[in-house]
Amino acid sequence: MHIIILAGGFATRLWPLTEKRAKPLIPLAGKPLLSWMVERLPKGLPILISTNAVFANDFEQWKKNFPERDIEIFIEDSRQEGEKTGALAAVSLCITEKNISDDILLLAGDNVFCFSFEDFLGMFSEKSSLPLLAAYDMGSREEAKKFGVVVPGNGGTVQGFEEKPENPSSSLVSTGAYVFPKNLLSCITTYSQTHADDLGGIFEYFLQKGVEVRYFSFPEPWYDVGSFPAFLQAHSEILQNTQIVGNRVSLKNTELLGSVFIADDAFLENVVLENVVVLQGATIRNSDIKNSVIGEEVTIDSIDFYGKIIRDGTFLVA
């Protein structure tokens, strides 16, 4: 089996946090999103990370954190949003360029999964000729409206799909984890030629061709970090009202409340932080900040704010 992780997007909805860094590499509770995923993946399986030309070197540097893993960075020839290959086309490109002929575990690089991948792949092994997706029960159909909805059939099969429906048939949604058997890889390359960015649509294509699709339902937490509110939710729930303070951090008359992460070399004086991420080298004085992300080498003095992302290198003084 091969693992393919899609990490080629430009994440414009999270700008300026992702203006100069790939979304899978943004720090979540002090660790890149992608590291949370790779640490949980079964050892011994080769990992191919598909990204764009802009962030290729950043991923090469990141993978040095996993010298024991077989990780390869696959570069798509795109340098801005309008040049993106498309998620499904990127998968097809990996298959053809790397001559992959094995089963594939496909993962979205901006997701955090807390379920057991061994259990997920174990379910696939029981029905190894059938595609499998990981599905999460949102608990309400209202919440499911934001996602691709899985219409369950009998015995763990998928009866159909609904893309962000107004009236969902279930509260079960498709997440960014899929397994494709090797005998269906040609279907992916064929479908991607006319549906380059329709990753979810490949399963509807399978159903139309009479291929049974199954789903793996899990109760453990799952985070799709596609927006700033989703990022803050994942940050808060993972830290669970604890605080992580990096190296060489100076805290003078500073109060930390809720879930707080402060990276290395930050300086804070007369500050209250609540549910905040402070990146490397930031200086903050005389401020009350809540539910925000402070970029690298930012300077803030005598300004209070809520729910903001502050761009790297910003200087804000009242």
Alpha-carbon distance 105 to 47, whole Å? 9
Sign of CA dihedral 147, 153, 156, 158: negative
Question: Can you give the pLDDT at residue 80?
Answer: 44
Task: Mark whether 295 and 223 lie in a shared domain.
Answer: no
Alpha-carbon distance 39 to 34, whole Å? 9
Which residues are CB-contacts of 53 (< 8 A; sequence separation ≥ 6)?
75, 76, 77, 78, 79
In terms of Cα–Cα distance, which of 253, 304, 250 is closest to 282?
Answer: 250
User: What's the Rg (C-alpha) of the chain?
Assistant: 21
Question: Can you give the pLDDT at residue 71?
Answer: 96
Q: At what angle do helices 185-192 and 87-97 cross, to 10 degrees?
A: 130
What is the domain-level CATH number for residue 64?
3.90.550.10
Residue at 281 is within a domain: yes
Residue at 151 is within a domain: yes
- Among the three residues 197, 231, 265, which one is the final residue of a domain in this structure? 231
Alpha-carbon distance 306 to 271, whole Å? 14
Task: Mark whether 64 and 161 lie in a shared domain.
Answer: yes
Q: Is the CB of residue 251 less than 8 Å from the CB of residue 267?
A: no
Residue at 28 is within a domain: yes
Alpha-carbon distance 146 to 231, whole Å? 16
Cα dihedral angle (283, 286, 289, 295), rounded to 10 degrees?
A: -10
Phi, then psi, of 56 in degrees rounded to 5: -55, -45
Task: Mark whether 13 and 111 lie in a shared domain.
Answer: yes
Please report, in tens digits, the pLDDT of each residue of the chain (318 residues total): 999 999 977 667 778 888 888 889 998 988 999 999 999 999 999 999 999 888 899 999 999 999 999 999 998 765 444 445 678 889 999 999 999 999 999 999 999 999 999 999 999 988 778 999 999 999 999 999 989 999 999 989 999 998 889 999 999 999 999 999 999 999 999 999 998 888 888 999 999 999 999 999 999 999 998 888 999 999 999 999 999 999 999 999 999 999 999 999 999 999 999 999 999 999 999 999 999 999 999 999 999 999 999 999 999 998
Residue at 202 is within a domain: yes
Task: Mark whether 208 and 245 lie in a shared domain.
Answer: no
What is the domain-level CATH number for residue 275?
2.160.10.10
Task: Mark whether 177 and 293 lie in a shared domain.
Answer: no
Sign of CA dihedral 256, 305, 14, 315: negative
Q: Is the CB of residue 148 less than 8 Å from the CB of residue 136?
A: no
Task: Mark whether 165 and 272 lie in a shared domain.
Answer: no
Q: Is the CB of residue 184 less than 8 Å from the CB of residue 131?
A: yes
Task: Mark whether 264 and 212 lie in a shared domain.
Answer: no
Task: Mark whether 153 and 119 lie in a shared domain.
Answer: yes
Q: Is the CB of residue 264 less than 8 Å from the CB of residue 247?
A: yes
Question: Can you give the pLDDT at residue 11?
Answer: 66
Task: Mark whether 187 and 251 lie in a shared domain.
Answer: no
Residue at 236 is within a domain: no
DSSP count for the chain of H helices, then E strands: 8, 21
Question: Can you give the pLDDT at residue 77?
Answer: 67
Task: Mark whether 135 and 169 lie in a shared domain.
Answer: yes
pTM attached to this predicted model? 0.91
Number of domains in the chain: 2
Question: Can you give the pLDDT at residue 256?
Answer: 97
Cis status, amide bond into 16, omega within 30 of 0 = yes
Task: Mark whether 186 and 311 lie in a shared domain.
Answer: no
- Among the three residues 196, 231, 266, which one is the final residue of a domain in this structure? 231
Residue at 103 is within a domain: yes
Residue at 152 is within a domain: yes
Which single residue is written with the structure tokens 């401020």? 287
- Among the three residues 210, 231, 252, which one is the final residue of a domain in this structure? 231
Q: Which amino acid is it at 240? A: Q
Alpha-carbon distance 5 to 38, whole Å? 10
Residue at 169 is within a domain: yes
Structural domain span for residue 30 = 2-231
Residues in the chain: 318
Task: Mark whether 157 and 302 lie in a shared domain.
Answer: no
Residues 258, 18, 311, CA angle at the centre, nearest 5°?
70
Cα dihedral angle (104, 40, 222, 13), rounded to 10 degrees?
A: -80
